[in-house]
Amino acid sequence: MTTGAPATVSTHVLDTTIGRPATGVAVSLAARTGPEQPWQELGGSVTDADGRCKDLPGPPAGTTHVRLVLDVGAYHGGRGGTAFFPEVTVAFAVTPGEHHHVPLLLNPFGYSVYRGS
């Protein structure tokens, strides 16, 4: 059910190479009010021990699109490795009043994202 309330967003990062949550991944969030509108940076967070960001800023009312940028290069570098993709940018449409959970499955040479629940 959608309402006039703003959308909410969360993410969860899992390192498929080690089969564990990816701890310490910096995530920034931006929003915009239409496909031709500029992005407004809202802030960010860092994944916790479970690979989750529980304190991402909420998109303001009127948001139609959200963009997450995940600094996976620093995460892999902190583990003594390198990443072919130094950052992952995921932009997606949102519906007012709905929660949008976007998990990221990660390894040094690839990633996959999807709309979770």
pLDDT digits (tens, 9 = 90+) for 18-47: 999 999 999 999 999 999 999 999 999 999
**Strand locations in 47-116 (E):** 52-53, 65-70, 88-93, 99-107, 110-113
Q: Is the pTM of this model over 0.85?
A: yes
pLDDT digits (tens, 9 = 90+) for 81-102: 888 999 999 999 999 999 999 9
Given the candidates 3.40.50.170, 2.60.40.180, 3.40.50.300, 3.30.230.10, the CATH classification of the domain at 8-113 is: 2.60.40.180
Give residue limits of the domains in the chain.
8-113
